Amino acid sequence: MLGPECCFSFADLFVATEGRMWTVDEAQDFQKLSQDQKNAWVTVLAEKAPQFVTVNRMGIDGVVYRAFWIPSSSN
């Protein structure tokens, strides 16, 4: 079963904080970032959209990923 942190894409987070879709160039630039840079990007954007919570999660590959989601009202 997938957790709530699998419900939103990076593009969804971008739209929630910037109020627009990201451009193809922005999406491509994001994909070129290291995982640490992506984690920092998620943290900065989530701070702009306080409905999102973030937490570091260790992937099965041993890499730390910054997970993000909007908690349900039942949590």
pLDDT for the residue numbered 37: 97
Greatest CA separation found in the chain? 38
Amino acid in the structure at residue 16: A
Summarize pLDDT for 7-43 with one digit per residue, the tens.
Answer: 789 999 999 999 999 999 999 999 999 999 999 999 9
User: Residue 3 pLDDT > 50, yes or no?
Assistant: yes
More confident residue, 30 or 75: 30
Identity at 7, one-letter amino acid code:
C
Do residues 39 and 65 lie in contact, with contact meaning Cβ atoms separated by under 8 Å? yes
The overall average pLDDT reported for the chain is 88
pTM, rounded to two decimals = 0.82
Residue among 7, 11, 40 at smallest CA distance from 23: 11
Of 56, 55, 43, residue with least CA distance to 13: 43
